[in-house]
Structure 1
Amino acid sequence: MATGSYFPPSGATPGLSPRTSSPVSSPLSPPLQQRSNALSNRLTSVLSVSYADSDIRDALETLSLRGIHNTAEVRRQLRLDVQKEVVDCNAEIVRDFGNVAEQLQRIGTVISSLKETCDEMRKHIVLARQDTNPVLEEATALMSQKQEAETKQHLLDAFAKHFIVSDDELLVLTSVEEPIDDDFFDVLARVKQVHRDCEALLGAENERLGLELMEKSSRSLNSAYQKLYRWIQKEFKSLNLEDPRISSTIRRALRVLAERPSLFHSCLDFFAEARDYVLSDAFHYALTDAVTGGENAVKPIEFSAHDPLRYIGDMLAWVHSTTVSEREALETLFVADGDELARGIQAGLSSEPWSRIDENEEVTFDGEKALSDLVNRDLIGVARSLRQRVELVIQGHDDPVTCYKVINLLSFYQTTFSKLMGPRSNLAELLQILEKFTLSHFEAIMREDVRSLSTDHSALALSKDLSAPQFLLDALEVLTSLMKTHEASIGTSEGQENKFTPVLHAALDPFLNLAKSCADDLPTPTARAIYLTNIHITTRSSIIPYPFASATHLTPLSTALSTLRVDLLEIQHRYLLDTSGLQVLLTALQPFSQALATELKHEIATIATLPAFQPDALIAISQQLDDFLPSALMDATENLKRVQSAAFVKSVTDEAVEAFCRDFEFVEGMIIGADEAGDVGKKGGGDEDEDEEEEGSKGEEEQEGHDLRRLFPRTTGEIRVLLS
């Protein structure tokens, strides 16, 4: 690295620039100008260098380590030292490369020797291969034959182990003397697997072996299933369901037997028949034989046969308890192992396609349904005995309340068995049939009572107060007992059919219709209306507290009462008009109306000429009205005193009084109109001559004698006050 350029040339004055070194102030010469530019460039380059640069920092660090001071001598010596170090380093590198070259020469010599050795060995190997090649080929062929033989041996061993069942295993599977245990089921599972795997052999070239093995396995399986079927039947004979723990072996046997649907269902039929006999015998024993045992002795159910409700209730309670016990005992067979039974039956239908009813129908096993069906079949004999006894008891009793209580009892157990066994179970349908039978007997009792009443004239005789007849009161008393019984029973929730409606039709409608027919014997319309009102009010008051009864019959009764109320209102209105004498005036005023009174006043004037409005007649009517008014309201109420509802009588009387006041107002208006029309006629005549004055004065006196308002002075306000 040249360093001389960093210092001023010799002979220059230190501290002065080249431009001031010359005393001459003329422009610089070209050489001096070039030197000045070079120095400026060098300074610019040095100043532009960043001392944070890594190279400069390393160089400065090296100089710092050498302890060099910045002098001209040191700088020259430093350059020489650096050049000397570079030369020494290059010399050392050359020496190292010389050593490497010597090593490479030695390696080349060794490689050449190895190559010669390898060529020699390759020649020996080729010669050896030529000598041993036939032996190797023969050995390879022998090894292939050995491997093929070993493979065949393995296949034969595996085939024999998998497809061949030993005689001892077949003995366990088919011999009757051998027990049904885990060994039996293990061998059966293996034979079934062999039978399934034989299908693969049928697809091979030699089908004879597959056919023979399949035939042999089929015979073994059939014998095994027959052995299992007979064993299950034997176990079912001694099976005690009172201890509802069925052994795991029987459960496993049933799951396996399900693969033969025909044998499985036959076994279930045998079991159902055996249980039917056992349960029928137990039911007969509970009915007739007492269980002795000291203080807790249970009396036979037949001891309470005189009380149909208790007798039927005890029988149904026994059947319900037995059904629950039977279901719990058999639940482990069809619910806990339902999935395995379903798979077994599905597999059996594949092996027995003739067992299908419909080929396109997918058969699935429902454990709950199978359990309910089996319990139903177990209780067929019990259900038959129950039906006979219930029908016999019902036919021997004629108390309608008892019959209806039995209906509610049967309905309760019908709901219970529907939830327990399903709505289509035998017991649920049987109780529904018995419920209909009892209801039919109940309706027959009601019809017979109505028939006997219709021929008993003394029972149909009406009392003088026109109250409801005694037979209707008795029927309503019975109906009240029935409604209380129904209210206390279940099955009256909203959204369900009203089961009490047929009872109302049987226990109420015939008696009410018979009571209505008795009204034809009454002599007057008033008596008939009062009598019909009484029986409808009595009937309505009996059913109003019970919504299930009023829901169907309250509307017809209210409609009939509304019609009767209109009739009684007309009767009461006419009574007021006739008693007060106002009817005579209304009859006379029928040709007139308010419109006529305002438009044809000259016609209104003719009212004074009517017979009813003559002074004597009008005075008599006015006097009759005055006699009527003091006790009119009391007399009107007395007219309907036989109606057995004071509120009803008051309502009808008040409305009749209002109608009477309107009629009186009309009569009053017509009388005032007639007087006003007469006054207009008198003023319009004039004084024609003096000769007529005398006659006019006589006419005024006569007209004053015919003043209607003076003869009939009562006003509508007075009438309303007196009748309020």
Structure 2
Amino acid sequence: MASNGLGLQLPQRDAASPGPISPGISLAPGQASRVMNPISSKVTSVLSTSYADSEFREALILLDERGISISAETRRQLRLDVQKEVIDSNGQIINEFGRVADQLRRIGATIDKLNKNYQEMKSHVTLSHEATVATVEEASSLMTQKTNIETKQQLLKGFKDHFVLTDDEVASLTLTSEPVDDRFFAVLAKAKRIRKDCEVLLGFENQTLGLEVMDRTSKNLNHAFQKLYRWIQREFKTLNLENPQIHSSVRRALRVLAERPSLFQSCLDFFAEAREQILSDSFYLALTGMSASGAKDHSVKPIELAAHDPLRYVGDMLAWAHSATVSEREALEVLFVSDGNEIAKGMQEGRENELWRFMADEGDDGPPEFDAVKALNELVDRDLAGAARILRQRIEQVIQANEETILAYKLANLLSFYKFTFSRLLGVTNAEAILLQSMTNLESEALRQFRSLMRDYIATLQGEFQHTPADLAPPDFLQEALKQLSAIMQTYETSLDTSTSKGGGEDQEDDDDEFQPILTESFDPFIAGCENMARKIPRPASSIFFLNCLLAAQSTLQPYSRFTSRRLARLRSTASEHASKLIESQYSFLVSESSLSSFFSALQPLRSEIREDIEKVSTLEPTQPAALASASQSLDDFLPSAIMDALENLKHLQDARLAREVTEEAAERFCADFEHVEELLVLADELRDQKDSNDADEEPSLRALFPRTTGEIRVLLS
């Protein structure tokens, strides 16, 4: 054995065995014995060993851990120790396997015992199963039956809870001794739901159950609505509408009762009758201070005693009616308008349920939808019907007893104002309202009385229409008529301002149209009388008199031009016509007083552009020297006082400014004609100078005989 340099014995290579000494080197057979030696054998052994083997590495690591030195003894002892350790390890393993074998034997015995017990239990179970199989099957059948019965009980309970009213619920719906409270409405809602859900039951082949449930539920519902109807009637008898906090249960009951339109309408009729009586009694109490039963109420100040004149009396009654209407409307709005949509839905549902009403409306377009505001207005009007009748009777008495023209119109205007107010309060389209009809009829009656009184008044003045005042001033009857008209227009303007402030203003043309009938009755006859009087006197006095009347009328109507603009335009046009007549009269006065009438008449047709006309000037009679000198002298005598004399003609015209304007216009026309005459005279002199330039006995010129110029005339007449 040879060592590998690490203390291990390596096998000796046989010297006779051939083999290479090292890789890639071969020896000849003759050289083998000579080359083989221990070193080469060790090298060969080392080189042939694989150090990559894991067992070899572990062996080396083990030797290093034991710290064994390399020697022959050690190597021998190591082999023995290793063998001893292998033998000890094998003995230990055998002992362990012995203990394992004992455990396996005990486990086997246990398993055998378990198998035996299992077989015994299996036999017992088999016998028990054979003995209890009938009982188990019977118990399973009973459990199935129990499950089915419980399911049916749940279904029956659910059906009863959903489709059947309990005795307490039926009593709450039908018995009048039970209150109408939240429980009543809850049960009523449940009954309506049951009737609706019965449609599902009627969808099955067997409809008996559905019909029975629906029939019983419908009867209960009918009793419930009858109970609700009677309860609402009782509540209406004691309902205090003046209290703003009306009980919410009444509103709820009305909303539900709307599902029975016939009962709902009957309930409204009952309510309207009750409220009509209450408001009639209240109005009678406000008028007289005594209740309908004759009892005196000292807390009320009677209108009949507080009002000292007819207008105040009528105004107080209308004010009470307006206040009552507003209060009634505000109170009923809580009942109807706040739940208007719900009532409309209920009415629609009720019409679908009440087949006879549906069939009655089938020929038409169908029943109209419920309009809460319209129903409110109609109900308020019905509530005030009784008071409206009393109001109409009292106001008719006042109108018929009145003998004053202005008061009659003020009454008509007051009624018109309240008609407008009530129309806005009750709806402008509600033309059938009793209150509005009363206001319309009363207004017409007051206007008829006004027209009748005005015609009677005019008839009494027929004698005064025959005498014209000496100073040509407006007659007394016209001044009195204008005073009345001013009072009437002031009243009308107040009503217009009130209407405009309430959003009902109209344009000016509409105001004019509305006021025209009043002017026709209270103004036109007097102006026509003045015009007839003017026709009976000579000019210019007729124009002066009528102008004074027109100017007085204009000054009266002008402040109220908002609704008298058309009549003012007509008056101004007529005044302009008579002013033109006065201008013509003043012009004629100036021409005649200046002694130039024949002069103007002869020269006016001639034209300065035509030579023949200019040649005619000197041949005319007024232009002869003697006539021309006389005309010049008369003109000089007239001019200093011409304007004063002309103004004296218009001294009775009450508008001094108009008198001066008329005179100035006439003077301007006179100056224009004079300018034309002057131009013709100048041209005639120039033409004569051209013809007779060599004549020694030259005659005086026309301008020398008539020296006045247009500028001088204008200055003297200014």
What TM-score do you get using the length of structure 1 for normalisation? Answer: 0.75
**Cα pair 1:466 1:642 within 8 Å, conserved:** yes
Q: In the TM superposition, what whole-angstrom CA distance separates every residue of 1:9-43 from its partner, at most 9, and x where no partner exists?
A: xxxxxxxxxxxxxxxxxxxxxxxxxxxxxxxxxxx
Partner of 2:174: 174
Partner of 2:357: 355
Q: Residue 714 of structure 2 is aligned with which of 682, 705, 720?
A: 720
Partner of 1:506: 521
Partner of 2:531: 516
**Cα pair 1:466 1:530 within 8 Å, conserved:** yes
Q: In the TM superposition, what whole-angstrom CA distance separates every residue of 1:682-720 from its partner, at most 9, and x where no partner exists?
A: 24xx7xxxxxxxxx76xx2xx516x32222111112111
Matches of 2:316 and 2:434, distance apart in 1: 19
Spell out the pairing of 1:650-669 with structure 2 (5 A cutoff).
Answer: 650-669=660-679
Q: Against the structure 1 CA distance between its residues 473 and 459, is the aligned structure 2 distance closer, same or farther, given a 3 Å change threshold?
A: same
Partner of 1:321: 323
Q: Against the structure 1 CA distance between its residues 611 and 346, is the aligned structure 2 distance closer, same or farther, given a 3 Å change threshold?
A: same
Matches of 1:477 and 1:88, distance apart in 2: 150
Question: Which SS does the other structure have where 2:338 is aligned?
Answer: coil
Spell out the pairing of 1:545-560 with structure 2 (5 A cutoff).
Answer: 545-560=559-574
**Cα pair 1:259 1:344 within 8 Å, conserved:** yes
Q: In the TM superposition, what whole-angstrom CA distance separates every residue of 1:566-600 from its partner, at most 9, and x where no partner exists?
A: 2211111111111111221111124421122xx33
Matches of 1:647 and 1:347, distance apart in 2: 80
**Cα pair 1:273 1:378 within 8 Å, conserved:** yes
Pairwise CA RMSD: 4.0
Partner of 1:678: 688
* Equivalent AA in structure 2 for residue 659 of structure 1: R
How far apart are 1:419 and its partner, in Å?
3.4
Spell out the pairing of 1:90-109 with structure 2 (5 A cutoff).
Answer: none
* Equivalent AA in structure 2 for residue 507 of structure 1: S
Is the aligned partner of 1:440 residue 2:448? yes
How far apart are 1:635 and its partner, in Å?
1.0
Spell out the pairing of 1:199-598 with structure 2 (5 A cutoff).
Answer: 199-289=199-289, 298-303=300-305, 307-356=309-358, 357=361, 360-361=365-366, 363-423=368-428, 424=430, 425-453=433-461, 455-456=462-463, 458-489=464-495, 490-491=497-498, 493=500, 495-496=506-507, 497-498=510-511, 499-522=514-537, 524-596=538-610
Matches of 1:619 and 1:91, distance apart in 2: 180
* Equivalent AA in structure 1 for residue 327 of structure 2: S
Question: Which SS does the other structure have where 1:595 is aligned?
Answer: coil
How far apart are 1:202 and its partner, in Å?
0.5
Partner of 2:647: 637
How far apart are 1:344 and its partner, in Å?
2.2
How far apart are 1:278 and its partner, in Å?
1.9
Q: Against the structure 1 CA distance between its residues 608 and 264, is the aligned structure 2 distance closer, same or farther, given a 3 Å change threshold?
A: same
User: Comparing 272-281 with 346-355, which one deviates more in the overlay?
Assistant: 346-355
* Equivalent AA in structure 2 for residue 463 of structure 1: P
* Equivalent AA in structure 1 for residue 548 of structure 2: N
How far apart are 1:661 and its partner, in Å?
0.8
Matches of 1:585 and 1:134, distance apart in 2: 162
Partner of 2:24: none
Q: Against the structure 1 CA distance between its residues 552 and 304, is the aligned structure 2 distance closer, same or farther, given a 3 Å change threshold?
A: farther
Q: In the TM superposition, what whole-angstrom CA distance separates every residue of 1:22-72 from its partner, at most 9, and x where no partner exists?
A: xxxxxxxxxxxxxxxxxxxxxxxxxxxxxxxxxxxxxxxxxxxxxxxxxxx
Q: In the TM superposition, what whole-angstrom CA distance separates every residue of 1:526-570 from its partner, at most 9, and x where no partner exists?
A: 122212211111111111122324422221111112222222111
Q: In the TM superposition, what whole-angstrom CA distance separates every residue of 1:460-488 from its partner, at most 9, and x where no partner exists?
A: 41112222221111111111222233334
Q: Against the structure 1 CA distance between its residues 675 and 86, is the aligned structure 2 distance closer, same or farther, given a 3 Å change threshold?
A: farther
Partner of 2:14: none
**Cα pair 1:501 1:552 within 8 Å, conserved:** no
Is the aligned partner of 1:704 residue 2:699? yes
Question: Which SS does the other structure have where 2:588 is aligned?
Answer: helix
Q: In the TM superposition, what whole-angstrom CA distance separates every residue of 1:59-109 from its partner, at most 9, and x where no partner exists?
A: xxxxxxxxxxxxxxxxxxxxxxxx9999799869x99xxxxxxxxxx9xxx
Pairs aligned (count)? 604
* Equivalent AA in structure 2 for residue 308 of structure 1: P
**Cα pair 2:51 2:57 within 8 Å, conserved:** no
How far apart are 1:242 and its partner, in Å?
4.2
Question: Which SS does the other structure have where 1:544 is aligned?
Answer: helix
Matches of 2:240 and 2:499, distance apart in 1: 41
* Equivalent AA in structure 2 for residue 709 of structure 1: R
Question: Which SS does the other structure have where 1:704 is aligned?
Answer: coil
* Equivalent AA in structure 1 for residue 332 of structure 2: L
Matches of 2:491 and 2:344, distance apart in 1: 47
* Equivalent AA in structure 2 for residue 445 of structure 1: L
Matches of 2:334 and 2:476, distance apart in 1: 62
Question: Which SS does the other structure have where 1:605 is aligned?
Answer: helix
**Cα pair 1:376 1:426 within 8 Å, conserved:** yes
Q: Against the structure 1 CA distance between its residues 89 and 271, is the aligned structure 2 distance closer, same or farther, given a 3 Å change threshold?
A: farther
Q: Against the structure 1 CA distance between its residues 305 and 294, is the aligned structure 2 distance closer, same or farther, given a 3 Å change threshold?
A: closer
**Cα pair 2:336 2:376 within 8 Å, conserved:** yes
Matches of 1:316 and 1:571, distance apart in 2: 58
**Cα pair 1:176 1:227 within 8 Å, conserved:** yes
Question: Which SS does the other structure have where 2:468 is aligned?
Answer: coil
How far apart are 1:619 and its partner, in Å?
1.8
Matches of 1:193 and 1:465, distance apart in 2: 95
Q: Against the structure 1 CA distance between its residues 230 and 677, is the aligned structure 2 distance closer, same or farther, given a 3 Å change threshold?
A: same
Question: Which SS does the other structure have where 1:275 is aligned?
Answer: helix
How far apart are 1:205 and its partner, in Å?
1.5
User: Comparing 573-582 with 408-417, which one deviates more in the overlay?
Assistant: 408-417
**Cα pair 1:580 1:625 within 8 Å, conserved:** yes
- Give unmatched runs, 5+ long, in structure 1: 1-82, 96-105, 687-695
Matches of 1:649 and 1:670, distance apart in 2: 32
- Give unmatched runs, 5+ long, in structure 2: 1-49, 63-99
Q: Against the structure 1 CA distance between its residues 89 and 185, is the aligned structure 2 distance closer, same or farther, given a 3 Å change threshold?
A: farther
Matches of 1:604 and 1:251, distance apart in 2: 105
Is the aligned partner of 1:649 residue 2:655? no
Question: Which SS does the other structure have where 2:618 is aligned?
Answer: helix
Spell out the pairing of 1:128-167 with structure 2 (5 A cutoff).
Answer: 143-167=143-167
Matches of 1:441 and 1:548, distance apart in 2: 26
Q: In the TM superposition, what whole-angstrom CA distance separates every residue of 1:435-468 from its partner, at most 9, and x where no partner exists?
A: 3332332233223322332x32x34411122222
Partner of 1:693: none
**Cα pair 1:254 1:264 within 8 Å, conserved:** yes
User: Comparing 302-311 with 376-385, which one deviates more in the overlay?
Assistant: 302-311
How far apart are 1:338 and its partner, in Å?
2.8
Question: Which SS does the other structure have where 2:609 is aligned?
Answer: helix
Matches of 1:394 and 1:305, distance apart in 2: 15
What TM-score do you get using the length of structure 2 for normalisation? Answer: 0.75
**Cα pair 2:332 2:376 within 8 Å, conserved:** yes
Partner of 1:8: none
How far apart are 1:263 and its partner, in Å?
0.5
* Equivalent AA in structure 2 for residue 313 of structure 1: G
Matches of 2:679 and 2:470, distance apart in 1: 43
**Cα pair 2:466 2:533 within 8 Å, conserved:** yes
How far apart are 1:492 and its partner, in Å?
6.1
Q: Against the structure 1 CA distance between its residues 446 and 89, is the aligned structure 2 distance closer, same or farther, given a 3 Å change threshold?
A: farther
**Percent of aligned positions that are identical:** 47
Partner of 1:625: 635
Matches of 1:475 and 1:666, distance apart in 2: 49
User: Comparing 669-678 with 419-428, which one deviates more in the overlay?
Assistant: 419-428
Partner of 2:44: none
Matches of 1:194 and 1:315, distance apart in 2: 55
